[in-house]
């Protein structure tokens, strides 16, 4: 089966046999590596002529096979995709890392090493997964690790990038605590063109491999940055926001977002971004803000005023705001003191004189001042 990236028609191999093809990179692996990219064809459905990076062959996976499910309960994504797993804690937000906890449970299964399940591990067999998904998905990339971890070679990042480039139907959200490494990768991508083939974005600069050079094709200049890839940083407190957001703002992206999760302190986004709001919409450089509390064993409480402040900042700047949840804790209303006396000490906490009670994620819920905040940035019209 083949899918046309323009009209999304899925056609049988027979239909495509009748299509005009000048050159077709027939080896998906080579295309993902960025070694092959040049051909054109006429789509039997929409009759459009496609040049360059287009047709994708779908080899539907066999049933079963012990595949890990890609659907997710994460409120701001529909699916996850983990071509790498594993990571190393880098800051306060990592203290109770969900991915580390889950990796332990999965040790020895689904490609997680038995001896050290949270070691950075590559899963090249998962690279093609998004190319098999037919309906559009909102995909959290590397939910069980960090794609820009120092142990992930840039070559592998290029392969992940090329899959996102071809899987145009889907929106990919990349979240990192290593924005410097993300910036380094982008700084190594340069425009190249020859023989009227159009301009390509080449990782490593110079000629691509198909022209005798060492560069890896990661996109076309006219479609750069990729419209279906959103880039974000995690900022759990003001210090991390100040460190990471200015780096994110130097990276070209269709959408940039900040995930404040787990929220461990108040954050002034304007201070972090180094810009001022002078008019509606001037915030502009950040396209989305996600806020959430911490869940699981050891979870820390989130003060409601921290979340309110971020919501208000986003509203003032017309930045979509997504409130994920409160985490495990809720504050105790001053008039309801009984929790404090009837609960064991590990279920009580205070922040700045405000008392909190550990009620569990479900009871704590996800309403902020009685309202659900489920705002998203708009997807690009032509992914
Ligand atoms: S960066 Fe993310 S995945 Fe890595 S240890 Fe920290 S919380 Fe876990």
pLDDT of residue 29: 61
Residues 154 and 187 sit within 8 Å (Cβ to Cβ)? no
pLDDT of residue 353: 84
Residues 376 and 322 sit within 8 Å (Cβ to Cβ)? yes
Q: How far is the CA of 228 from the centre of ligand 1 (A)?
A: 24
pLDDT of residue 119: 97
pLDDT of residue 367: 95
- Alpha helices for the chain (secondary structure H): 13-17, 28-33, 98-105, 154-166, 179-187, 238-248, 269-273, 304-317, 338-342, 361-364
Instruction: Provide the whole-model pTM.
Output: 0.82
pLDDT of residue 16: 46
Residues 75 and 57 sit within 8 Å (Cβ to Cβ)? no
Paired strand residues for 79: 71, 139
Residue numbers in the chain where pLDDT is lower than 70: 1-69, 195-197, 273-284, 333-343, 345, 380-383
Q: Is the bond into 363 cis (omega within 30 degrees of 0)?
A: no
Q: Is 37 in the pocket of ligand 1 (CB under 6 A)?
A: no
Going from the C-alpha of 32 to that of each of 85, 194, 217, the distances in angstroms are 19, 21, 9
Q: Is 102 in the pocket of ligand 1 (CB under 6 A)?
A: no
Distance from C-alpha of 101 to C-alpha of 120, rounded to nearest angstrom:
14
Residues 257 and 190 sit within 8 Å (Cβ to Cβ)? no
pLDDT of residue 62: 38
pLDDT of residue 239: 96
| Domain limits, the chain | 1-52, 232-364
Q: How far is the CA of 257 from the centre of ligand 1 (A)?
A: 17
Q: Is 94 in the pocket of ligand 1 (CB under 6 A)?
A: yes
Distance from C-alpha of 256 to C-alpha of 28, rounded to nearest angstrom:
29
> Of the residues 90, 98, 236, which should be mutated to test ligand 1's pocket, given the most ligand atoms within 8 Å of the CB?
90
Ligand 1 atom 7, closest CA: 94
pLDDT of residue 102: 94
Q: Is 97 in the pocket of ligand 1 (CB under 6 A)?
A: yes
> Of the residues 118, 121, 145, 233, which should be mutated to test ligand 1's pocket, given the most ligand atoms within 8 Å of the CB?
145
> Of the residues 97, 101, 174, 294, which should be mutated to test ligand 1's pocket, given the most ligand atoms within 8 Å of the CB?
97
């Amino acid at each position: 089966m083949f899918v046309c990236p323009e009209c999304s028609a899925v056609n049988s191999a027979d239909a495509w046999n009748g299509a005009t093809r000048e050159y077709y990179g027939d080896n998906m692996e080579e295309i993902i590596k960025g070694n092959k990219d040049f051909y054109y064809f006429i789509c039997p459905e929409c009759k459009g002529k496609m040049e360059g990076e287009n047709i994708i062959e779908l080899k539907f996976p066999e049933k079963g096979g012990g595949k890990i499910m890609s659907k997710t309960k994460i409120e701001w994504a529909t699916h996850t995709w983990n071509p790498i797993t594993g990571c190393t804690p880098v800051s306060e937000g990592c203290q109770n890392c969900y991915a580390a906890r889950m990796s332990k449970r999965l040790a020895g299964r689904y490609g997680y090493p038995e001896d050290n399940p949270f070691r950075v591990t590559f899963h090249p067999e998962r690279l093609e997964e998004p190319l098999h998904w037919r309906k559009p998905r909102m995909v959290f990339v590397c939910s069980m690790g960090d794609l820009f971890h120092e142990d992930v070679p840039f070559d592998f990042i290029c392969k992940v990038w090329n899959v996102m480039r071809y899987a145009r139907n889907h929106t990919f959200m990349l979240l990192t605590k290593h924005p410097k490494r993300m910036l380094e990768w982008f700084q190594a991508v340069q425009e190249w063109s020859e023989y009227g083939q159009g301009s390509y974005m080449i990782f490593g600069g110079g000629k691509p491999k198909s022209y005798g050079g060492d560069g890896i094709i990661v996109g076309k200049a006219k479609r750069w940055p990729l419209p279906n890839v959103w880039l974000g940083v995690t900022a759990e407190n003001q210090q991390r926001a100040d460190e990471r957001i200015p780096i994110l703002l130097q990276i070209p992206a269709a959408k940039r977002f900040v995930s404040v999760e787990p929220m461990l302190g108040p954050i002034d986004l304007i201070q972090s971004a180094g810009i001022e709001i002078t008019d509606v919409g001037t915030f502009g450089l950040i396209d989305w803000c996600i806020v959430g509390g911490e869940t699981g064993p050891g979870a820390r409480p989130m003060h409601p005023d921290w979340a309110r402040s971020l919501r208000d900042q986003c509203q003032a700047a017309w930045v979509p705001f997504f409130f994920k949840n409160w985490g495990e804790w809720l504050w105790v209303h001053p008039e309801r003191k009984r929790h404090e006396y009837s609960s064991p000490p590990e279920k009580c906490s205070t922040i700045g004189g405000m008392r909190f009670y550990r009620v569990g994620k479900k009871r704590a819920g996800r309403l902020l001042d009685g309202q659900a905040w489920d705002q998203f940035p708009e997807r690009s019209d032509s992914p």
